[in-house]
Amino acid sequence: MLRNTHVYTNFIGYTLEACSCIYCLYYRGKREGCILDKCCCIEERLQASVNEHYNEKLRRIQNGSKN
């Protein structure tokens, strides 16, 4: 990083939107799809799913929901 670079936010975790196949290096569009047999970022996608579930649970607790 350069001397004048300022980081405004810290990395909290992966989101489902950030782990979309659209941003993958191996994704070739809607017609071709992914050129790999196995997803190369499956660990990140699983972690994003866990983070999303955890954040939803926190939101429910903070809003006072009983479910």
10-48 tens-digit pLDDT: 777 778 888 888 888 889 988 988 898 988 888 888 888
pTM: 0.59
Confidence tier at 1 by pLDDT (50, 70, 90): low
Distance CA 26, CA 61 (A): 39
- DSSP H helices, 1-67, are 42-63
Q: How big is the chain, counted in residues?
A: 67
Check whether 5 has a pLDDT greater than 80. Answer: no
Domain coordinates of the chain in residue numbers? Answer: 1-67
